[in-house]
Amino acid sequence: MTVESYGFDTLAIHAGQEPDPRTGAVVPPIYQTSTYAQDAVGAPRLGYEYSRSGNPTRDSLQECLAAIENGRRGLAFASGLAAEDTLLRTVCRPGDHVVIPNDAYGGTFRLFSKVAERWGLDWTAVPLDDIDAVRAAFRPGHTRLIWSETPTNPLLNVNDIALLAGLAHEYDALLAVDNTFASPYLQQPLAFGADVVIHSTTKYLGGHSDVVGGALVTADAGLGEELAFHQNAMGAVNGPFDAWLTLRGIKTLGVRMDRHCDNAERIAAYLSEHRAVAEVLYPGLETHRGHEVAAKQMSRFGGMVSFRTAGGPEQAVAVCNRAKLFVLAESLGGVESLIEHPGQMTHLSAAGSALEVPADLVRLSVGIETVDDLLADLEQALG
């Protein structure tokens, strides 16, 4: 099943999810098994030997992931960071160099600065929306990868995927795009020249805050094979029940994202007029510096909204603590609305570095509740 033959919502519901040939079950079974009986020595049935190497439920998810990102190969992992680590150790070697965003997700920064750096991987953080800065950071012969998030977490900056892909390929490097904030419903980086798409499937793809997972999708079959080899060799795969939950979430991704976007647009407009708010960070606002690029590569602008409080860091923390309907919690992309203080929560690992986020920043993951109720909660929280 491909984008050329079916629409997005059809792929989300059907790709990799044909009725079970034995029973006719419409929903793919959960193959909760660690190993498989083989027909003879050296003749595993349908290629299944051991569930780290292959599992039918995970295979269904992987086929669906490839279809909705319009890629050739999809791979599912135990978490988004497991997917990131597998990608880095597949395409990089000790002594290589990676260009990363200067506003990357805190967990990604920790992976580079505390783990990959000790393995011998060097990195430089630059604003990826400044193509001259990206070019200046390149080390020909050593820079193997540009690592992009768009929109970024939590500052919601927007990077031009096609421009970054062209620059990466000019230097025989790769472009990886973390598409978690946008989801495949709103943005498909492979169509703009990216080599690999990364997801924390915990977020919008799962969509219900009940499963942790990650994914890689690539357009190149050869790169897909290399990633699959490392997926098995490193072993950070998700289990069959986690794969099943993620598949269930993907079925409603399109309809959920429409509501996430509807609600986020209303909330961004409301915050833009509020006296207690100094700045609203949302690509859907025409005042956002990345609005034109976002409009070019996204169908809508997503459910994530960040803002800076007029009263400084103390007010930002107070707003988070006063919220009632918005749940004070890390993560994002679920049906329920969440609020957090990135500086002391999701991005604490970047404190004291060049990637430290403003202390007056509040991040909202706007859910699919009745938007008037969300607006009323923000009104009382902002005081």
Phi-psi region of 356 (alpha: psi -120 to 50; beta: other; left: phi over 0): beta
In the structure encoding, which two tokens stand for residue 27, read together?
């929903």
> Choosing from 105, 185, 204, 270, which is the catalytic residue?
105
- Is residue 105 part of the annotated active site? The answer reads yes
> Choosing from 129, 178, 360, 377, which is the catalytic residue?
178
Question: DSSP secondary-structure letter at 50?
Answer: B
For the chain, how many helices (H) and strands (E)? 13, 14
Tell me the CB-side half-sphere exposure of residue 38, using CA atoms within 13 A. 10
In the structure encoding, which two tokens stand for residue 49, read together?
């030997």
DSSP alpha helix (H) spans, the chain? 8-14, 56-68, 80-91, 106-110, 131-137, 161-170, 183-186, 221-234, 240-251, 253-272, 291-297, 313-322, 371-382
> Choosing from 52, 139, 248, 266, which is the catalytic residue?
52
Contact 185, 207 (CB under 8 A): no
- Is residue 52 part of the annotated active site? The answer reads yes
> Choosing from 58, 73, 110, 203, which is the catalytic residue?
203
End-to-end Cα separation, the chain, in angstroms: 51
- Is residue 50 part of the annotated active site? The answer reads no
- Is residue 296 part of the annotated active site? The answer reads no
CA distance 56 to 63: 10
Cβ-based neighbour number of residue 222 at 10 Å: 10
Active-site residue set: 52, 105, 178, 203
